[in-house]
Amino acid sequence: ARPITAEGYGMRTNQQTTLKAPATLSGIGVHSGNPVEITLHPAPANHGIAFLRTGMPTGNDRLIKAHHACVSATELCTVLGDIETGAVATVEHLMSALYGLGVDNALVEIDGPEMPILDGSALPFVQAIDQVGIATCDTPRRWLKILRHVRIETGTSFAELRALAGRGGPQDANP
């Protein structure tokens, strides 16, 4: 088998990417102990990453975007969506694999409330994506350009974004 790297994948292109074919993984949720199956589906440009939560007690499926506004909890794991109407927990390893390989667009079909833990790392997700391959879309990537230093604090915690010198931001105007 060839080594698993992002070289040749979406990290080196200015075009959006998706999967070439579906990939299915199954395992046990680390917190719930329940079996779960996920299928990573290709998605069109500008779709982003979204979870299709199936297997709901109501019988209704729920589409949950992987977006900061959809985060409902962060204790022990990241939860997207609402427990009452459908949520997906423990998304960190999959999201790391998708980002690390440069996948911009994918639909993650999941039949339970929690991602499978697999081996406890992102590696099984990377291997599944590597096995099906990554396709380039005909749409340019959208980039977030940090123009100035931004810091948000809550208690002793903080998040910070800094503009990089040499990237065309205002910090380059006065050397």
- In angstroms and rounded to an integer, the radius of gyration of the C-alpha atoms of the chain is 18
Q: Over the stretch 43-58, which tens digit does the pLDDT of each residue have? A: 999 999 999 999 888 8
Percent of the chain exceeding pLDDT 70 equals 87
Residue 1 has a pLDDT of 47
Q: State if pTM tops 0.85.
A: no
At 3-44, the pLDDT tens digits run 444 445 545 579 999 999 999 999 999 999 999 999 999 999
Share the mean pLDDT of the chain.
89
pLDDT band at 143; cut points 50, 70, 90? confident
Report the DSSP pairing between strands 23-28 and 79-82.
unpaired
* Residue 163 scores a pLDDT above 80: yes
Q: Which residues pair with 108 in a beta bridge?
A: 40, 51
Count of Cβ atoms closer than 10 Å to residue 60 Cβ:
10
> Which residues, including other chains, have CB under 8 Å from residue 18's CB and lie 6 or more apart?
42, 43, 44, 45, 47, 103, 104, 105, 106, 134, 135, 137
